Structure 1
Amino acid sequence: MNPVEYEDNESKFIRKAKENPFVPAGMLGFFGIVAYRLMKMKNRGDMKMSVHLIHMRVAAQGFVVGAMTLGVIYSMYKEYVLKPSEAQKALEQKALEK
């Protein structure tokens, strides 16, 4: 097996995290919200367990959806704003060299 083709899980995760930094942020936020809501479960008062769990799920999913939305906006910005401006600068540089 070619060592260049082989990639362990940790380096693959790091590479993916650099490509889209909102994925680890979404995962971290998800687990943070779940941990916080599980700790607050003792102090839920007269709220039913099912309602508490539904609130926890909605909060965690909302955070993940928000992170995914920001990730899509970020990747669209890189693709449609930064790349065309870099291409325009390259064309201008090429025209100046002639």
Structure 2
Amino acid sequence: MSDYEEGESKFWRKAKENPFVPVGMAGFFAIVGYRLMKLKHRGDTKMSVHLIHMRVAAQGFVVGAITMGVIYSMYKDYVVKPREAKQLAAQK
């Protein structure tokens, strides 16, 4: 409850913890918007095939963003934190 009293939304708090969440969302909406604009000029391509390609591209971007987020969090947990712990131990 105290997190919401500070005036910061849950989205911004989560975005600070994992910056790839807004990147994934922005990429998803950008791809969907682009493909919807291209819908007029799809030529002989069936509507269902065009929509499937749009969905696969958007999902692929989101999966890539999730993968990068997992790699980033593993880097923070297993590389940065042990380094900081060693530096603190060396200072004492």
Summarize the Cα distance change of 1:39–1:7 in structure 2 as closer, same or farther, 3 Å threshold: farther
Aligned length: 92
Match of 1:60 in 2: 58
User: What's the RMSD between the two structures over aligned residues?
Assistant: 1.8
Which has the larger Rg? 1
1:42 matched to 2:40? yes
Following TM superposition, by how much is the alpha carbon of 1:11 offset from its aligned partner in structure 2, in angstroms?
1.6
Summarize the Cα distance change of 1:8–1:65 in structure 2 as closer, same or farther, 3 Å threshold: farther
Match of 1:33 in 2: 31
**The residue matched to 1:46 in structure 2 has which SS?**
coil
TM-score, with length taken from structure 2: 0.93
Structure 1's unaligned 5+ residue stretches are none
Instruction: Give distance in 2, aligned partners of 1:78 and 1:49.
Output: 44
Dislocated runs of 4+, deviation >3 Å: 5-10
* 1:69-84 correspondence to structure 2 within 5 Å: 69-84=67-82
Following TM superposition, by how much is the alpha carbon of 1:6 offset from its aligned partner in structure 2, in angstroms?
3.5
- The percent identity for this pair of structures is 75
Instruction: Give distance in 1, aligned partners of 2:63 and 2:19.
Output: 14
CA contact (8 A) 2:23 2:65 kept: yes
Instruction: Give distance in 1, aligned partners of 2:7 and 2:21.
Output: 15
